[in-house]
Homo-oligomer: A and B are copies of this chain.
Amino acid sequence: MFRFEILKKESRSGARLGRIHTPHGTVDTPAFMPVATQATVKSLSPGEVESLGFQMLIANAYHMYLRPGHEVIKKLGGLHEFMSWKHPITTDSGGFQALSLSKTRKIKEEGIIFQSHLDGSRHLLTPEKCVEIQESLGVDIMMCLDECPPYPSTDKYMKKSVELTTKWAGLCNNARKRPESALFGIVQGGIYPEMRRLSAEGLTEIGFDGYALGGLGIGEDPEATYDITESTLPHLPPESPRYLMGIGRPEDIVTAVHTGVDLFDCVIPTRNARNGTLFTSHGKLVIKNARYAEDGRPVDERCGCYTCRNFSRAYLRHLYMARETLVLRLLTIHNLNYYGQLMKEIRESIAQDDFPVFASRVKSLGGE
């Protein structure tokens, strides 16, 4: 069953070292979840993701519902079995995707009416349906259906939206049938601290296994993300895990850890890899640049990943220019290894009660 344990609080910051216990094993926090939207971390085998040091993935309920269908996955033994991943899985509820991927969608009291981005078929995603889908998948952490208001939104829209998200959260909680799947509430409220407080308090009153901050990283200034995270966390139960959804860059992660966030997911390491942008110990490297055409060095001489141990920048650039799919995998391995190492070092620095020093080193690199 789901349980969150705080092992240590860092003395000069809000950073926490913890452990999430789930039916599929434990996750050391602060943790980063690679994104496996369609039941695969794009281009990687489950064994590769595991060996890069990740203990939990995040898949997407909206995508699984539309293709191949949550009933199919349930019949085949659940999402873990389906994608051959033995460790914990979180699913995003799909509310964000139902709103962002559909051309025509409508938010009603009872849920989100949307058209499939695949075949145009019409669907109604209710809080109850959302929980049913995620329980069918058999995931370890489910997310509530929420409404993610666009940035920017008016005060008035935001207030109504937060009330709806809180109402849906209550309905999600009531719809639960499967105790093995934990449920997290999602705090909304845009960049309005007061709305965030209302949302956090509403969710806390219902009571969830964990709390997420949603609706950030959607166009607002990073400073706003930081401010909202910092001002919202005190309104959430300190003993519960806190998850900052969809964030972010290494400098965003350390800043959020500093304020007490335990869990992250973001497409940045994997999507950047596929675009040829790599994280290194000396800043970003864009592999398609002509300057790497004859460069026999690895992407990062201080990196020990499979890609850096075996291939030169020149070879990776060649594969990239020749549109060879192997490059997607090799670059994804490198970037996820970077994130895996980052999270490991974050945890170590908290354990050594020296997180702020590590955090400022990461932030100075991000600014390069």
Contact = CB atoms under 8 A, between A and B. Distances in A.
User: Considering residues A67, A318, A321, A329, which has the most beta carbons from chain B within 10 angstroms of its beta carbon?
Assistant: A318
A328 B323 CA distance: 14
A314 B68 contact: yes
Contacts of A72: 293-294, 314
A324 B42 contact: yes
A40 B296 contact: no
User: Considering residues A75, A84, A306, A324, which has the most beta carbons from chain B within 10 angstroms of its beta carbon?
Assistant: A324
A63 to B, nearest CB: 8
B324 A38 contact: yes
Nearest to A333: B45
A338 interface: no
Interface in A51-109: 67-68, 72, 75-77, 82-84
A111 to B, nearest CB: 25
A206 to B, nearest CB: 34
Nearest to A63: B322
B315 A84 contact: yes
User: Considering residues A40, A44, A314, which has the most beta carbons from chain B within 10 angstroms of its beta carbon?
Assistant: A40
Contact of A76 (B42, B44, B312, B319): B312
A94 to B, nearest CB: 15
Q: Looking at chain A's contact residues, is the secondary structure mostly helix, strand, loop, or mixed? A: loop
A154 to B, nearest CB: 37
A333 to B, nearest CB: 10
B325 A83 contact: no
Contact of A40 (B40, B82, B324): B324
A39 interface: yes
A39 B314 CA distance: 12
A84 B311 contact: yes
22 contacts: A38-B318, A39-B315, A42-B326, A44-B326, A45-B326, A45-B330, A46-B310, A67-B318, A67-B321, A67-B322, A68-B293, A68-B321, A72-B293, A76-B296, A76-B314, A77-B296, A82-B318, A84-B311, A84-B315, A325-B325, A325-B328, A325-B329
